Amino acid sequence: MKMVKIEKWFMNRQQHAEYVINRAEKLLQFITVEEKQKFLEVGCGNGAVCKHLAEKYHLIVTGVDIDPEQVQFAKENTKNLPDIRFLATDAIKLPFQNSDFDIVLSFGVTHHISNWLDALGEIKRVLKPEGYFIYYDLIYTEPIARFGRSFKHSYGITTKRDLDSFIRKNNFTTVHASSKKSLLWHHHDAVYQSN
């Protein structure tokens, strides 16, 4: 689901870019990042994280987003960087081969996707064996999830149990996981390794 104008304004601010870059850096501490590894960001928005990682780590970076305007913005801000590309595509139909990426990152995206399990399945498909999946998103409490699922909506409603079940069934190992709790949902971040 594409963001509305107010969401784009918020997400495209410099303060938000700095926030997600800092969060990505904290989670990258749990893995070994090597030059020329293939990196994919699902839901790259304006490409701030992709740009930072391409410049700092010299990765071969791909960013995908469903919103062509965000993809165009990302392309314009990175046109002088080698080994970086952006594509407008749906997270549930990634146009990549199996086992194509060493690292896949998804920040704040799955709650925008009603069939978020399909998107995670695609992430698993394109991730190399022993590759890393870096994740951050909202995880809803069970009562809020039950309430939210009673309505027709286009948002993904993920619970900790749902996410843990996916991770277990798809043979990921949890390298790191933490949640910051609030009344209605948790902010959950994690690093998983594909087996």
In the 8-state DSSP scheme, what is residue 66? S
DSSP secondary structure, 99-132, as one string: T-EEEEEEES-GGG-TTHHHHHHHHHHHEEEEEE
- Integer Cα distance of 135 and 96 in angstroms: 19
Structure tokens at 36: 């020329």
Architecture of the domain spanning 5-194: 3-Layer(aba) Sandwich (3.40)
Would you place residue 1 in the very low, low, confident or very high pLDDT band (cuts 50, 70, 90)?
A: low
| pLDDT confidence of residue 188 | 95
* 54-82 residue pLDDT tens: 999 999 999 999 999 999 999 999 999 99
| pLDDT confidence of residue 184 | 74
- The whole model's pTM is what? 0.91
pLDDT at 154 over 70: no
Going from N- to C-terminal start, the domains of the chain cover 5-194
| pLDDT confidence of residue 111 | 85
Looking at residues 15-34, what average pLDDT do you find?
95
Would you place residue 112 in the very low, low, confident or very high pLDDT band (cuts 50, 70, 90)?
A: confident
- Integer Cα distance of 188 and 127 in angstroms: 21
Looking at residues 11-24, what average pLDDT do you find?
87
Would you place residue 20 in the very low, low, confident or very high pLDDT band (cuts 50, 70, 90)?
A: very high
| pLDDT confidence of residue 156 | 83
| Chain mean pLDDT for the chain | 91
| Relative orientation angle of helices 116-126 and 160-169, to the nearest 10 degrees | 30
| pLDDT confidence of residue 181 | 84
| pLDDT confidence of residue 101 | 98
pLDDT at 195 over 70: yes
- Integer Cα distance of 55 and 104 in angstroms: 17
Structure tokens at 135: 């994740």
Residue 184 to residues 41, 67, 114, 187: CA-CA distances in angstroms? 27, 28, 18, 10
pLDDT at 106 over 90: yes
- Integer Cα distance of 128 and 101 in angstroms: 6
Structure tokens at 194: 């594909």
